[in-house]
Amino acid sequence: MRRLPIYFLIDVSESMIGEPIEQVEEGISTIIQTLKSDPNAMETVWVSIIVFAGKTQTLLEYQELISFYPPKFFVGSGTSLSSGLEHLMKAMDKDVRKTTAEQKGDWKPIVFLFTDGTPTDDTAHAIGKWKKTWSNSANMVAVSIGEESNLSLLGEMTDNVLNFKNTDKEAYSEFFKWVTNSIKISSIAIDKNNSDFDLAPTTNDALSKIDLSKLTADINTNSDENHVVLVAKCQKTKQTYLIKYKRAFGMIINKQNDCQYHLVGAYKVNDSYFELSDMSYIGAQVNTSRLMGAPTCPCCGNQHSFAVCSCSKLHCIGVEGLNTCPWCGVEGQYGSSAGGMNIEKAQG
């Protein structure tokens, strides 16, 4: 039986924390469960899920639909697209059956790349390798979740670049229906011995194909400038949490044209965050005057989640006069500052 390999290459960088990662997790589960009710898909589709942040992991090994169990998604620091691409190509080299004199190989793999930001590494070598080894023998669909992705860079890998405006839960539901329908169309086509690849039509303004001829090249940086993510620890539970801010486009607050970042929320993370993070990264800094809002601690409920220790790490504090930094163990009393201060931000 010739298989139709489907790979999901998913950006799980810190900027995906909160609703985006929750909706992707739910959406992937819905896609697979829906495909299980389709006889063409059940006979041909095999799936693998690869996630990338600062590092890359195979979240779900290559397997037939009947064996699929919805995975739990985690985030990490950084957006190493090159690491994700290299990992994907190694997996495809291993998984996909090639045509030989004795047998026909698998159908052309379909790769769905989901990302919400710009790569934080040099992608030139990995993209060059993709073009040379897989661009003609696989079909890639690159989807920008939101409007902050480097679209011109995505266009170097595929002509199928789409922008998904993740406006609300209903938009996410429609988006994943579109992904499901696109896979169904491909499985029906190969059942009729037709190797053509085609996407399902988009049904609303939330999802649109990008005209690559109108794009200009974006500048690559080693951090995501559309978000500010801060790493902190709960003083009581010692659990790590992330504080996420999103850039307020068009709002300038000083002569240096520094933009504001508005609070999105604070979210608990487990040790998988460090497993997916590029720990060699030396963090850039952001001035606290550019950060609008501060949340309560998502782990213990302390009113202040944004205290800075002398070790420069962030943690929460309560009403006690004496507090202990969960990073370095130093005890001290904390007060407020009238001006802004520079603090280290994560890679994003």
Digit-coded pLDDT (tens) for 276-293? 998 777 668 899 999 999
Question: Are the C-beta atoms of 298 and 263 separated by less than 8 Å?
Answer: no
pLDDT beneath 50, residues of the chain:
252-256
- The confidence score (pLDDT) of residue 195 equals 62
Digit-coded pLDDT (tens) for 227-256? 899 999 999 999 999 999 998 865 544 444
Mean pLDDT, the chain, integer: 88
Q: In a 3-state reduction of DSSP, which class is residue 48?
A: strand
- The confidence score (pLDDT) of residue 256 equals 46
Residue 76, beta-bridge partner list: 13
- The confidence score (pLDDT) of residue 198 equals 83
Please give the Cα distance from 49 to 23 (Å, whole number): 15
- The confidence score (pLDDT) of residue 188 equals 85
- The confidence score (pLDDT) of residue 284 equals 82
Please give the Cα distance from 305 to 325 (Å, whole number): 12
SS3 content of the chain, % helix, strand, coil (to 5): 25, 30, 45
